[in-house]
Amino acid sequence: MAKQNYQNEVIKETVEVSSSVLTGAVGMWQESFLLSEADYVRLKTGEPKTAIWANKMLMMTIALAINIIAKLLSFFIENNERSTIDLQVLGKYISKVDWFAFVIFFLVTTILYGIGALVANERKSVMNKIGNHFEKASHQLFEVKK
């Protein structure tokens, strides 16, 4: 036969009770995360400046690549009867400045993404704090008595 009265005990098995035992609402309680205004601003501002710059540089690099691809297509369409690629003729379609600009933009984009990955990100640190808090926060069962 089950015990009739439980007080300040951890119950690890199912115990049947009558509905008259519960005198109020039963719920779960979890410690709140106290979000400061500074943390809120860090979350709201989002990505670091290096990521924003890197994204802009990436778009310009893609535009340069599209320009080079268009010039390559033009070269192949106009010189489709040749079996070999003549670099001097190709140079008339795509200048050294096109290649130089593409390479520079690609390198700058890569460097900016690398810096962004290495530099501490305030938004990530706040999100990690919140995640760690809720992983470690205890869940407690409580009863609201009338």
Q: What is the pLDDT of residues 53-83, one digit of tens each?
A: 999 999 999 999 999 999 988 888 888 777 6
CA atoms lying within 13 Å on the CB side of residue 139 = 4
Residue 131 has pLDDT above 60, yes or no: yes
Read off φ and ψ for residue 5, nearest 5 degrees: -130, 120
Residue 102 has pLDDT above 90, yes or no: yes
pLDDT of residue 35: 78
For residue 80, the 8-state DSSP code is: T
Residue 4 has pLDDT above 80, yes or no: no
Per the prediction, the chain carries an average pLDDT of 80
Q: How many helices (H) and strands (E) are present in the chain, helices listed first?
A: 5, 2
Residues 6+ apart with CB under 8 A from 26: 141, 142, 143, 144
**pTM attached to this predicted model:** 0.56
Tokens of 77: 């369409």
**For range 87-97, the mean pLDDT:** 84
CB atoms within 10 A of CB 40: 11
Read off φ and ψ for residue 140, nearest 5 degrees: -125, 135
Q: Which of 5, 14, 112 is nearest to 55 (CA)?
A: 112
**93 versus 11: which is more confidently predicted?**
93
